Structure formats: structure tokens, C-alpha cells
Amino acid sequence: MTPWKGWIIFGTVSIMLLVVLPLLNALPNESTFWLPDFYLNLLGKYLSLAIMGMGLGVLWGYAGILSLGQAVFFGLGGYSMGMHLMLQISGQQSKYGEAVPDFMVWNQVKELPFFWVPYHSFAFALASAVFLPVLFALLFGYLTFRSRIQGVYVAILTQALAFAAWLLFNRNEMRLGGTNGLTDYKTLLGFSLLSPTTQRGLYIITAVCLLVTYGLCLWLTRGKLGHIFRAIRDGENRLRFLGYSPTGFKMFVFALAAGLAGLAGALYVPQVGIITPSQIGVMPSLEVVVWVAVGGREALIGGPLGAVLINGLRSYLTTVAPQLWPFVLGALFVGVVLLFPSGVVGLPKQFERFMHRSGSRWKSGGRRSPLSAAAASGPSENPDKLSLDGEEVKASESNISAGAGAVAHVLFGSRVEDNGANKAKDGETTKQADERGVPLLRVENVTVSFEGFLALHDLNFSLMEEELRFVIGPNGAGKTTMLDVICGKVKPIQGKVIFKHATNLLALQEHEIANIGVGRKFQTPTVFPYHTVLDNLLLSFKTKKTVGATLVALQARPSHVGLLEILEFVGLGHHTQTFAGVLSHGQRQWLEIAMLLAQEPKLLLVDEPVAGMTGRERDKTGLLLEAIAREHATVLVIEHDMEFVRHFSNTVTVLHEGSLLCEGKMQEVQNDPRVLEVYLGREEEEHAADR
Amino acid sequence: MLIKQSVQIRLGRLSWTMVVCLLTSALLLGKGVELVYAEGPVTAESGRPNASSYLQGLASLDPTIQITALKTLGDIQDIAFLPALTALYDGTLHVWKDASGSEKVIIILRNIEPDGRETISLLNPFTGGELGKLNAAEALPEGEKLEMVTLRSGEGRRVMKAVLNGLRLFDPVVEVRRTTATTLGNAGDLSVLPALDQALSRESDKWVRHAIEEASNQLRLKDTDPEVRRAAAIRLGEIKGMRALSHLKALLTEDPLEPSDTVRVAIQGAIDSIESYQSYQSIVGITFSGISLGSILFIMGLGLAITYGLMGVINMAHGEMMMIGAYTAFVLQEAFFKYLPPSLHDSYIFLALPAAFVVTGAVGLLLERTVIRFLYGRQLETLLATWGVSMFLQQSARWYFGDLTSVNPPTWMRRGMEPMVGLVLPYTRIFIIGLAAVALLGVYLLFSRTRVGLLVRAVTQNRNMSACVGISTRKVDSWTFAFGSALAGIAGCAISLISNVDPEVGKSYIVESFMVVVVGGVGKLAGTVVSAMVIGMFNKILEPLIGGTGGAIYGKLFILVLIILFLQVRPTGLFPPKGRAAQVGS
């Protein structure tokens, strides 16, 4: 959808909602176009619920957090406004002429409880309606997300919260009206709530709020924040290793949704005239989820659209055939999940796919994901055309070398290194370099146990600066586990990992380790499939990665220059706008490498970079790694491809059964009897097998 | 040459043995409880001469003769007259003059015949046998008369009550004897002491003896002789007579105060003894309630532990499965009442359990085939879809059955075991605890020792590999889910014994069931047991501590909040799934 189209639609809808409908309502009752108060009021109610739906749309659709307790925040907002309105009717208008609300008089409560007192002020009530849910959400979110609770557990926890809140609000001792709730309002800010003009005004305010909050959410989610949310949804752990702490972002979006729900409650109550505990519990929270599911999770408009549709349907059905409503609602739940996962918003695309699929059914079978559909329609170029001509290969090798050097220099060369860098010069082993100075990374006596199985056993290992080190070893030797320990994925039961002589990496969390300069390329490519190639890099590149910094930098256009160079080098220059999920395996490997480079780390941990690559690509990778090592960064490579190792290595470390077996140049290592035994088995055993 | 092999899912010998053992033990459990605790029928015969003359005296129109007859009956203390006296009290003792002109004193019983007519049965006052039957609507033929026997004076009423109470001390029904003794004790009339003593010498039931001793000692506290009073106080302390507690306290605090010092000391000693016993009793009571609630939570959570813990399917319709089980029990009970003779009414429970198992299992199977199977691995979607299904089921139940129905437990389950005075442990709850234990054992054995269990575990741990080996994962999935749902049905059947059955029953238990499974640690049966017991005990301990009308609700609330906080600190639960597999991240 082009921006112009979007603006036109937005404008039309705004004018409809803000100008046309209220005008129609303001007409005299007898005229043919008169919009009855009842319908305007109903629409106002729907619009306020739409705000709540939008909040969940951002929370669930973008960040992937399913909260089954939104109604709690709605209730907090609604009760805040309700309390204020109740206090407005005390005095002459109340039935008993007392200073306390009627229901308190019935319950023999003579004095206003202390927490009611501030609600005399409208400003306080409004502020409380929005910020009380926000504060509560921040607290709850902190406790929940800090423990890395994900997915279903969050849903269950929020559902328990809704249940508990419902139980609590039903009690009379809470002094909040008990099961009957708060109702019978008369005035708001001096305007009578029963007059049509006030209701019209409330409607307009609600519509304005909806449009403003829609704009706000749009702005927030179009920028980098939106990318981060979606990255949290698609690969939270991967995001950690890029240096982001998801906790803060999740708290932010959770609080945002809560605040919107609270606002919705505050707008809802004066228009509907009552707030009860039945609007707080488990069922109402689930209805919000249905709105978003039916409306569509993928677009921001889905939540509000679903809210209006479902509530409209419900109003209609509960007057015509009330017993049918739960059946319809239940069927909607099941239907949306099974048949229309993208909701109303996604219907056109789904229809398109269906037509496409039934047309080409003889070509291919099975379902298609949105990604493969994009693949079918997008450009399909193979950047790395395999060349079988040996001469071409040789000639381009020098080009590659130059290219690699250029990229490495751009990224890493501009950094100022402190003195005392310990380079393992050619021919030197780490030991000799050690004697010169302090290593960049030291792994000391690290032991990792998985339920008794020792993946790493008293491992001692160190790495000097500007070194390109290779680590090899048979399967199960603990190579990947060692990387896991270094970058914080796994915690050892004993040992130390010292980075740059000062920092103990074991005390830090994954994103902190990433932010101090340790980058990792994983064994299996874990790119973000629903982000474009460029977006993947934007998420990786070196910048401040806190919530605050991201909000501040929301509008700033990040410099793409360095990133484009990287992409050119890895061969994805033409694919900046391609979704990463569509790339081939090899292309994904390159993207991973590119993401690693974008982080500009001081220590690169590369796990099996050339798995699945062609010969030319292997050369490219090797040259790149060498160039990086030359430019003041340190590279640790795990590999199985012995040719590759032999060609590019300087020092090689061999791991076996969790500890260091031997270290040295490839020549020495290859002839070491211990290494031979480990890889090939003992001589006697070989002869035994022959017999 | 290709060798086709497929792994067939057959219940091995162990599984069949287990099924048979489970059913037998359920049957034996029920029957055994019934045999021990059911009450026998009541008959009474009188071999005394002059029996009918006493009855004539009762029916006399002269108040003096009535009172004399009553007092005589009180003196001879023959329980054969108990039905007649009770009838006199109830207003069903009548004089009947039949066609032959002879007058007889009989007891009447009003019936409603199957065709809707009201009839009156005329019964022998001693044997209860039917002497005749009349139509209520018809007028009596000429010469016949049916007149109610009433008490002609106020004093007559008083005497009758005393006589009745005296006789009731010897009533065949245990409960009647007990309550009579307590009433006499509280009434404060010392003249009944000899009757009480006599009853004590003939009494065999432990608790009635206790009640009688309590009553007689309570009365003796009013004796003029301080020694007697002291002995009475000491004895009350010894037998832990709780019903006398307020009386004892009043003697020390209100007028008229106990004058003698020694007696006061004895009274204080008795009070202390009784109060410490009371707190001991409440501990036992709370422990039992905690275990009972824990066993209920466990049964509810067991099915969920299988579908969610083992299969990873979030089934929000689990509560509705329970509801289906409860309604199955209801329907069966209605059917038994309608079509079978009263002697078989109580046996419905034996059919209800297997029936609930089968019916709910079938519903679960259907659910799996139509909805769940398309959503494996997508937990949030399963949550939503099953919630939709639950709404569907709930509304269907509401439509068909209406909003409130209730299942009556079998008569032999209605009371309880009484290990201590005043502490009744209801049989229904004991039954549920037993059921929970049997279910736990059954599930454990099924999954760890049988071939079927092995297949299930294989499929849930590594679906692709299992399929490669030749196991039909589709079938295993369906049956596992059906089994989990069937267990929910059993839970519903059990719940129906202790609370009302309505369409909302599912919603009120679903959140708690999930809490039990999640707190226990997903995937471990031991976790579910421990968390159910812990939550149950906590709940019951908190209730009296919080006190007041909202005790139960606030207790539940508090537990919920505690669980939320616990899960935030330790999200994997009490017994987390360990190992490398657990660490493979997103």
C-alpha cells in the first residue's frame, strides 16, 4: 500500500468519524438522515473498545506476547473514571443526600475510604486511568519477562491475573461496589451525562483518541522499534546475541498495551454508564484476543477493525437470538484459528494465494507460507554464479582478496586500538605470544555439565589479539559448547572466562556480552525470516541498543553506507529488500556472516562458516577472516573442513572430550599421535578390525 | 525385498490386567464401604400383652388417662412403642373404625400413586405392615371413621416429649440415640439421669456412649454434692466432652458461679484438656481437608498433565470435559432412579465412573481429530481454538440441561467416618482420595511399565523418529489426547459427588488445573502430585487464618498471587524438565 493511498483512506475515515456522523446526529430527529443517539453512542462504545484492541494488536501481533489479561487494565481505567463519576453525584443528586456514594451507604460505610478521596479531581482520575495500568503492567512485566517467561506461560500467568482480579473486585470489602459495580452516573465536569450533546461530545473525543493513538502506534511500529518487536516475536534468543535485552522492550510494549486499555476503559465508562467486575475477568480478556485474531494480527488496523466487527455482531445477536451468541463466538475462535489465521485484514492475500494455488496445483502441492509466495513473486537471482572455469576462479581470487581487505578495513580498521596488543605473529604459538603479554580471551578450568555428562572438562584455552585461531576436534569434543560458554548461552559449573584481562564474562548476560564486543555466527543460520535482508543488518549494526536510545533514535535514518558495502561483499547487494526467509541456505550463511560483521565485534566467534559453501565461497570466507584478523579484531573459527583449515590457519587448537588436546601449527597437529588416535583410532585397533 | 513392518498398538497383558484390577478395586472399595457403614432396615415387634390397651389409653379422649398411659410407657421403656409415640408426635397416629365396627389404633402414611391419585395406607403401629388402603379423595363409607389422635393437655405434651426422649435413647438408629442424648444433656432436667445410666449400660456404639456420658456428666455438674460435681468435671475432661465446653466455661464466669474451689480446679482442668483436644482436632481436620482438596486438584490436573505436560497441547476445554463427566453421572443417576427399583439406585456410581471415562474419552477423540491435530506445535493457536470449543460445549450444556442440576451421592456415601468426636470425614471425600490414588498408580504404571505407555512417550519425545520407526503417530496422538480427556471425565464425576453440577463448573476449575500443572513442572507426574498437595494444604491452612465470610475466596486469591509470584521466579515449576533438550532455544 503506497503512502498516498494510506493517507487518503485515513483521511476519509477520520472525516467520516469526526465530522459526518456527529453532524448526522445533530440533525433534528424527524429528518430522514438523522442518526439516532443510540447508534452514535454504540459506535462510541465500539471505538473505545477499538483502542484496547489496538493495544493488544501491537502487543500480540508485533511483539508476539499473548496477554490474556487485558481486561484487568481496562477495568483499572474504567473504575478510575467510574469512581470520579460516582463522587460527582454525591450530594444533592444522590438518593440519600450523603457525602458517600449510595452503595457505601447500603454497606454501612459512613466515611469515604482514603483511596477514593483523590478521585474528586478529574485530572487525577484521568491520569490514574492511564498510568495506574501502566505502572502495574511495568511491575508485572518486569517480574515476568525478567525470568524469560515466554509464549504460553505468559498467557497462563496473565489469565491467572485476570481471574484473581475478578475475584478481588467482586468483594464488597474492596469498597468498589462489589458485584454491582459503579453506576448511575449523572454528570461529568458539569455536563449532564444524559443529554445527547454530551454524548456526542464524548463520541468525538473517543474518535479523536482512537485516531491519535493509531497514529502514535503507527509511528512507533514503523521504525526500528517495530523491527525489534518483530524480532522478539521471531527469534528472541537471537536478538539477545545481537546485543539487545528483550526484557526492557517487552516491558515497554506491555505497558503501552496496558495504557491503551486503561484509556479505553476511561472513555467507555461515561458512554455506557456502568462498570462492573464482569468486565474485568477471564472472558472479557479473551474477547479482546478474538477481536485481534479476527481483525488480523499483521496490520495495526486489525485490532480496531475486529473490535468494531465483533461487538457489532454481538449487539445484533444478543438482541435477536441471545443463546446463539456463545456458539457464534466459539465458532469464530475455532474458525479464525483453523481457516483464517491472518484475519479479515489478511483475507485478500489469502484469497489471492488460494486462487494462485488452485491454478498451479498441478505444479506443486502442499501449503505455502507467505514467504514462499513472496519468493515466487520476487526476483530470483543467483548472485554467486557458479563458475566452472578454473581461470576465472583464479583471476577473481585476487579481486576477492582485495574486496575482503576493503570491507575489513572499513569496518574494523577505523578503530583505535590501545597499546599492548598481542599479535600472534606468523610462526609463533600462543605460548610465545603469551609470554609477551596478556591474551584477549582466557578460558580457565571451565567445566560444563549437562545432567552429569561433562561437555567441557577442565578446559584451558587462551586467545591473543589479532589472531585467527582455528579450533578443530571430533564430534562431541565440546567446540560449540565452548562458544556457548563464552557468549553466555550456557553457564559452566566451574571455571572463569576473562575477556580483555578485566571482564569476567560469566557474570554478564548474553546481550551485555554482545555489547562489549563479542560477536557470534551460529552453526545453523538463524536469521530473522520475516525481516528483509537490510533490516536484519539494521538490527545487528553497532549502536546503542537500549529502549531509551531506540525511542530517541526512532526518527533518525541510520547510515546505510557501511551496511551496503558489507552486503555487496557477501553477494547480497541485490537482495536488500528480500525477506530473509526466502534466501537459500548458502545465502543465509552469508547473511549471518554479514550480521556478524555489522556488529563490529572485537572478538568474532565463527561456528562452521563454510558448511554448505562452494569452493569459491570458501576462499572468499577464508580471505575475509584473514583480513579481519589483520585489522585488529580477533577471530576464532570452528571448522571440520581440513583443507580450509590447512589453507588459512596459523595456529590450530584441537579439542577432545571437553578439554584441550594439543595446539600448534597445522603440520604439527596433523602428525601428533594423540590427534591421530582421536580422529582415526589406535593402530592396534585398526589391525584388530582387519582380522 | 522390502519387509513391511508396522508397530501395532495393542494393549499388552499388563495393560489388560491393570484395567481389570482397577475396575475390581473400584467395585470392592465401594461395596466394602457400603457393607461396613450402611444402615439396616428398622423393624419392631412387641411381644408384650396389653400392648393394644396402652395404645387405647394413648388414644383416649380423657387427658388424665392419656398422661397415665404415657407415663406407663415411659416406665416400661419398651422400644416397640417408639413408632407409635413418634407417630403421635408427628400427627400420624389415628383411630380407625372399620366396617366391622372395631376400633384400632393405627399409623397412617400418605402416598401418591403412579397414576397421580392420593392414597392413605393404614399401617400396624408395631410392625409397619399394611392393614388397608383408602383413597384420599373419596369419602369414607358409612360406619367407618378415621380420626387423628391428639394430645389433650399441655402437660400431656410435656410428658410425651420426656417419654419420647427417654425411649429414643433406645432407638435402633444410631444418629437418633446420639442426638437424643445431647438434647437431654442440654435440657438440664436431672430426672432423666437414671434413663441415661440405663442406656449407657446397654449401649454398644462408641459415639453414643460418649454422647450419653457427656450428657449425664453435664447434668451431674448441677448436683448438690461437690464430690459428684468434681467427679463429673474430671470425667468430662477425660472424655473430651466438647459439647459441655460452654457450660463448663459458664460455671466459671457467669452466675450462678461454682462455689467450691476444688470443683473449680477440676472444671478448669477439664476446660484446658478439652481445648487442647480441640486444637489437635482442627489440625487433623485441616490436614484432611488439605489432602482432600489436594486430591481433587490432582485428579483435575492429571488429565491436563497428560495433554499439556506430555503432549504440549493447551486444552482450554479441559474444564468442559470435566463438565461432561459430571453430566454423564447426572444422566445415569436420573436413568437409574427412573427405570430401576430403589434397591439398585445407589449403584449408579459404579456405572458412572466407567461411563464418564468412555463418554469423555470419545469427546476428546473427536476434538483431537477435528481441531487439535491441525495445530500441533502452535500452542497459542491451540489455546484459542480450544477456548472456542469450550464456549461451544458450555452453551450446549446450558441449552440442554438448564442452569442448575445436582447429582446426589449414593446414600451410603452421605455421611462420614468419625475418628474423633465432632470430626466428620465425609465418605465422599475419602472416596475421592482413594480414586486419586488409584488414578495416580494407574497412570504411572501405564506410562512406565506398559508397551502402550512406551509408544506414547516415544511419540511425544520425538515424533519424527517415532514415525520413522513405524509407529502411527496419528493414532497415538488421538488416543493419548482421548485418554487425558477421559481422566478429566473421571474428575468431573468425582466432583459431582461434592458440589453442584452446572455449566459453569468447567470455568471455575480450569485456571486452577493449569496452575497445578504449571507449578508442578510440565512433564513430570510427580510434580503434579506435589503441587496439587501443596496448593491444597496451603489453601486449607489459609482459610481459617483469614477467617470471616470471605475466607475461602481470599485464600484462593492469596494462593493465586503466590503462584503468580512463584512462577515469575521459577517459571519451569517445581520439577523442571532438565537436560540439553530443555536448553535448545528459540
DSSP A639-681: ---HHHHHHH-SEEEEEETTEEEEEE-HHHHHH-HHHHHHHH-
Average pLDDT of span A195-214: 89
Q: Looking at residue A661, what is its pLDDT?
A: 87
User: Is B375's Cβ below 8 Å from some Cβ in A?
Assistant: yes
Rg over CA atoms, chain B: 32
Tally of CB atoms within 10 A around A409: 14
Average pLDDT of span B482-492: 92
Answer yes or no: do A167 and B391 touch at CB < 8 A: no
Q: Are strands A274-275 and B103-112 parallel, antiparallel or unpaired?
A: unpaired
> Which residues of chain B make contact with A150, given a CB cutoff of 8 A?
586
Q: Looking at residue A47, what is its pLDDT?
A: 93
Question: How many whole angstroms separate alpha carbon A488 and alpha carbon A150?
Answer: 19
A325-329, A456-460, B578-582: lowest mean pLDDT where?
B578-582
Residues A334/A287, Cβ–Cβ less than 8 Å: no
Q: Which amino acid is at B106?
A: I
- Confidence tier at B16 by pLDDT (50, 70, 90): low
Q: Which span out of B13-27, B412-426, B465-479 was modeled with the highest average pLDDT?
A: B465-479
> Which residues of chain A make contact with B383, given a CB cutoff of 8 A?
66, 152, 155
Least CB–CB distance from B561: residue in A147, A164, A327: A164
Which value, to the nearest 10 degrees, does the dihedral of the CA atoms of residues B304, B306, B308, B313 take?
-110
Where b means 16+ CB within 10 Å and e means fewer, B305-335 reads bbbbbbbebbbbbbbbbbbbbbbbbbbbbee
Least CB–CB distance from A160: residue in B396, B553, B563: B563
Residues A324/A317, Cβ–Cβ less than 8 Å: yes
Residue A585 has pLDDT above 70, yes or no: yes
CB-defined contacts A:B, below 8 A: 122
Q: Looking at residue B31, what is its pLDDT?
A: 59
Q: Model's pTM, two decimal places?
A: 0.76
> Which residues of chain A make contact with B539, given a CB cutoff of 8 A?
none
Q: Which amino acid is at A185?
A: Y
Q: Which residue of A has its CA nearest to B553?
A: A167
Peptide linkage before A322 cis (omega within 30 of 0): no
Q: Looking at residue B474, what is its pLDDT?
A: 87
Q: Looking at residue B553, what is its pLDDT?
A: 79
Q: Which span out of A311-325, A354-368, B129-143, B543-557 was modeled with the highest average pLDDT?
A: A311-325
Q: Looking at residue B361, what is its pLDDT?
A: 95
Distance, C-alpha A365 to centroid of its chain:
32
Q: What is the DSSP string of A587-626?
A: HHHHHHHHHHHHT--SEEEEESTTTT--HHHHHHHHHHHH
Q: Which amino acid is at A197?
A: T
> Which residues of chain A make contact with B567, given a CB cutoff of 8 A?
149, 153, 157
Q: Looking at residue B13, what is its pLDDT?
A: 65
Residues A38/A285, Cβ–Cβ less than 8 Å: no
Q: Looking at residue A49, what is its pLDDT?
A: 95
Higher pLDDT, B162 or B357: B357
- Confidence tier at B1 by pLDDT (50, 70, 90): very low
Grid cell of B121 as nine digits:
395406607
Average pLDDT of span B302-308: 87
Across chain B, mean pLDDT equals 79
Q: Looking at residue B468, what is its pLDDT?
A: 92
Across chain A, mean pLDDT equals 81
Answer yes or no: do B380 and A66 touch at CB < 8 A: yes
Query: What is the C-alpha end-to-end distance of chain B, expressed in Å?
Result: 42
Answer yes or no: do A164 and B514 touch at CB < 8 A: no
pLDDT, one tens digit per residue, over A83-127 is 888 887 765 555 555 567 777 777 777 777 788 888 888 888 899
Q: Which residue of B has its CA nearest to A330?
A: B388
Residue A209 has pLDDT above 90, yes or no: yes
Distances (CA, A) of B15 to B27, B62, B351, B445: 18, 76, 21, 9
- Confidence tier at A403 by pLDDT (50, 70, 90): low
Q: Quote the percentage of chain B above a pLDDT of 70.
A: 85
Closest CA of chain B from A82, distance in Å: 24
Q: Looking at residue A134, what is its pLDDT?
A: 96
Question: How many whole angstroms separate alpha carbon A644 and alpha carbon A619?
Answer: 8
Answer yes or no: do A148 and B571 touch at CB < 8 A: yes
Residue A479 has pLDDT above 80, yes or no: yes
pLDDT, one tens digit per residue, over A159-188 is 889 988 988 888 877 777 788 888 877 777
Q: Which span out of A262-271, A461-470, A622-631, B406-415 was modeled with the highest average pLDDT?
A: A262-271
Residue A487 has pLDDT above 80, yes or no: yes
Q: Looking at residue B110, what is its pLDDT?
A: 80
- Confidence tier at B28 by pLDDT (50, 70, 90): low
Least CB–CB distance from A160: residue in B383, B392, B564: B564
Answer yes or no: do B388 and A161 touch at CB < 8 A: no
pLDDT, one tens digit per residue, over B322-342 is 999 988 888 888 888 778 777
- Confidence tier at A673 by pLDDT (50, 70, 90): confident
Residue B407 has pLDDT above 70, yes or no: no
Residue B430 has pLDDT above 80, yes or no: yes
Residue A218 has pLDDT above 50, yes or no: yes
Q: Which span out of A668-672, B13-17, B434-438 was modeled with the highest average pLDDT?
A: B434-438
pLDDT, one tens digit per residue, over B175-210 is 778 888 888 877 777 777 777 887 788 777 777 888
Q: Looking at residue B32, what is its pLDDT?
A: 54
Answer yes or no: do A151 and B556 touch at CB < 8 A: no
Q: Looking at residue A213, what is its pLDDT?
A: 94
Rg over CA atoms, chain A: 32
Identify the bridge partners of residue B121 per DSSP, sorted by sequence position.
B109, B133
Residue A626 has pLDDT above 90, yes or no: no
Q: Which residue of A has its CA nearest to B522?
A: A153
Q: Which helix (H) or strand (E) holds B214?
A: helix B206-220
Answer yes or no: do A152 and B383 touch at CB < 8 A: yes
Answer yes or no: do A329 and B391 touch at CB < 8 A: yes
pLDDT, one tens digit per residue, over B38-97 is 444 333 444 555 677 777 777 777 878 888 888 887 777 777 777 788 878 888 888 887
> Which residues of chain B make contact with A332, given a CB cutoff of 8 A?
388
Q: Looking at residue A103, what is its pLDDT?
A: 76
Question: How many whole angstroms separate alpha carbon B565 and alpha carbon B416?
Answer: 38
Least CB–CB distance from B387: residue in A163, A164, A333: A333
Which value, to the nearest 10 degrees, does the dihedral of the CA atoms of residues A481, A483, A489, A494 take?
70
Closest CA of chain B from A193, distance in Å: 36
Average pLDDT of span B146-167: 78
Q: What is the DSSP string of B92-131?
A: -EEEEE-TT--EEEEEEEEEE-TTS-EEEEEE-TTT--EE
Chain B residues 307-366 with a CB less than 8 Å from chain A = 314
pLDDT, one tens digit per residue, over B523-542 is 778 888 999 999 888 888 88
Answer yes or no: do A329 and B374 touch at CB < 8 A: no
User: Is B242's Cβ below 8 Å from some Cβ in A?
Assistant: no
Higher pLDDT, A406 or B324: B324
Q: Looking at residue B487, what is its pLDDT?
A: 92
Answer yes or no: do A160 and B511 touch at CB < 8 A: yes
Mutation target among A68, A139, A153, A367 for the B interface, most CBs of B within 10 A = A153
Q: Which span out of A542-556, A589-603, B90-104 was modeled with the highest average pLDDT?
A: A589-603
Residue among A640, A632, A576, A633 nearest A613 (CA): A640
Q: Which span out of A7-16, A669-678, B126-135, B354-363 was modeled with the highest average pLDDT?
A: B354-363
Average pLDDT of span A6-33: 80
Average pLDDT of span A394-419: 58
Residue A275 has pLDDT above 60, yes or no: yes
Q: Looking at residue B11, what is its pLDDT?
A: 57
pLDDT, one tens digit per residue, over A446-471 is 999 887 888 899 899 888 888 889 99
Q: Looking at residue B38, what is its pLDDT?
A: 45
Q: Looking at residue A90, what is its pLDDT?
A: 62
pLDDT, one tens digit per residue, over B107-143 is 778 877 777 778 888 888 777 777 777 777 777 777 7
- Cβ neighbours of residue A579 closer than 8 Å, sequence gap 6 or more: A371, A374, A375, A378, A529, A530, A531, A532
Answer yes or no: do A333 and B399 touch at CB < 8 A: no
